[in-house]
Amino acid sequence: MKPLRTLVIGFGFMGRTHAANLYQSKVFELCGIVDSRSRQELSGSAGGNIQSGAIGLDQLQGVPLFARLEECLDAVRPDAVVIALPTAAHVPTTRLCLERGCHVFLEKPICLDANEGESLLRRAETAQRTFMVGHCVRFFPAYEILLDAIRSGSCGKLKLLTMERFAGTPNWGVWKDPVTRTSSGGALFDLLIHDIDIVQGVLGEPSEIWVPPGLVETFGPDYVNATWRYPSGAMVMIRGGFLFPPERPFECGYSALFDNGGLLHTSHEPDHVLRFSSTGRQVIPLGGAIDGYRKELEYFGGCAQSGTFPARCPPQDAVTAVRLARRHLPASH
């Protein structure tokens, strides 16, 4: 099947990560980068809080750089775009690309307003183009194991799930701009949205979300410590944030308790998931697995080529994640 001619719009940390995977893929042909900065500024290493394979423009031989999106769309006429811009630019950029007939892969979060998110879903449906939001954690092997255990009941009924995700305050690229940082929605929408998405994707919406009184008033959306309750009796705790200096290393993980044992994973020991029960412990190795960033793009590309709906990461779930994230904030936010 012919590769999808694809643009990367926004060449920050995630744009560089996606460009590296597109450049090496047989599903895509990377045909341009859109960013207002100079070629020199976009060369060399990129900032970030994890190792993601991000690369500089100097490593993308023969890939042109455009300063303006409209000019690029006219010149290149791509089949698809990967949008990795600050959150405030997600809605207008996605609308334009859908109107120009492009399949759209949009970095999370879809936006900060669920109603605007719904409007993008309708536009994608009208345009008859594949639209997917990059909730990459669904595609990482350690979380695939967790999701499979919950769905299949292989460990019994879920009783308690703890999800954690911490990072130092971002101080690279567009995060240096205070306006961009404020309009990002903070750690709630930029970091913990991953865990919100994972949980609602497999368990649905909770009947209750409890946040300690005064937490948001003290720390704003940059620290989350919430408890979700489900009619089944399952409880989920989501905790993490950006409160810390940039030097704080990134970490994430989960601990899941089921009727017949549990699962444990931490980024401090990234090469395995630990499964435990009354009969002992089993180490489930993850070595050699394709990373989630590459896997989510390959999945998006396959859906776009075949005209199939991205059921593994449906855009409606991205809207639901935003609506649930807002339930962690006071009504005034």
Task: Report pLDDT for 33.
Answer: 97
- Please say if the pLDDT value at position 291 is more than 90: no
pLDDT in tens, 93-106: 999 999 999 999 99
Cis (ω within 30 of 0) for the bond into 109? yes
Q: What is the mean pLDDT of residues 110-132?
A: 98
Residue 248 per-residue DSSP state? S
pLDDT in tens, 151-173: 999 999 999 999 999 999 888 77
Q: What is the DSSP string of 270-304?
A: TTEEEEEETTEEEEEE-TTPPPHHHHHHHHHHHHH
Task: Report pLDDT for 48.
Answer: 57
Task: Report pLDDT for 275.
Answer: 97
Q: What is the DSSP string of 29-95?
A: EEEEEE-SS-TTTTSS----SS------GGGSTT--EES-HHHHHHHH--SEEEE---GGGHHHHHH
Gyration radius (Cα) of the chain, Å: 20
Would you place residue 287 in the very low, low, confident or very high pLDDT band (cuts 50, 70, 90)?
confident
Torsion of CA 269, 271, 277, 280, to 10 degrees: -90
d(CA 322, CA 195): 12
Task: Report pLDDT for 290.
Answer: 66
Buried b (16+ CB within 10 A) or exposed e, 183-196: ebbbbbbbbbbbbb
Please name the helix (run of DSSP H) or strand (run of DSSP E) that holds residue 13, with its range, or none. Answer: helix 13-24
Task: Report pLDDT for 289.
Answer: 64
Q: Where are the domains of the chain?
A: 4-134, 141-290
- Please say if the pLDDT value at position 5 is more than 80: yes
Task: Report pLDDT for 52.
Answer: 59
- Please say if the pLDDT value at position 331 is more than 70: no
In sign, the C-alpha dihedral spanning 196, 198, 199, 202 is positive
Name the β-bridge partners of 261. 258
Task: Report pLDDT for 173.
Answer: 73
Name the β-bridge partners of 83. 9, 106
Q: What is the mean pLDDT of residues 276-296?
A: 89
d(CA 297, CA 134): 8
pLDDT in tens, 34-86: 999 888 888 876 665 555 567 788 888 899 999 999 999 999 999 999 999 99
Task: Report pLDDT for 44.
Answer: 72
Structure tokens at 244: 């810390």
d(CA 322, CA 316): 10
d(CA 261, CA 246): 37
Task: Report pLDDT for 129.
Answer: 98
Given this chain, do its domains 4-134 and 141-290 carry the same CATH topology?
Answer: no
> How far from each other are the two terminal CA atoms of the chain, in whole angstroms?
47
Q: What is the mean pLDDT of residues 130-157?
A: 97
CATH class of 4-134: alpha beta
Would you place residue 332 in the very low, low, confident or very high pLDDT band (cuts 50, 70, 90)?
low
Q: What is the mean pLDDT of residues 186-212?
A: 97
Q: Which amino acid is at 36?
A: S
pLDDT mean across residues, the chain: 93
Q: What is the mean pLDDT of residues 189-211?
A: 97
Task: Report pLDDT for 171.
Answer: 82
Higher pLDDT, 313 or 214: 313
d(CA 311, CA 142): 20
Task: Report pLDDT for 170.
Answer: 87
Task: Report pLDDT for 176.
Answer: 79
Torsion of CA 301, 102, 311, 206, to 10 degrees: 130
Q: Which numeric CATH code is attached to 141-290?
A: 3.30.360.10
d(CA 142, CA 325): 23
Structure tokens at 283: 């180490």
- Please say if the pLDDT value at position 333 is more than 60: no
Would you place residue 14 in the very low, low, confident or very high pLDDT band (cuts 50, 70, 90)?
very high
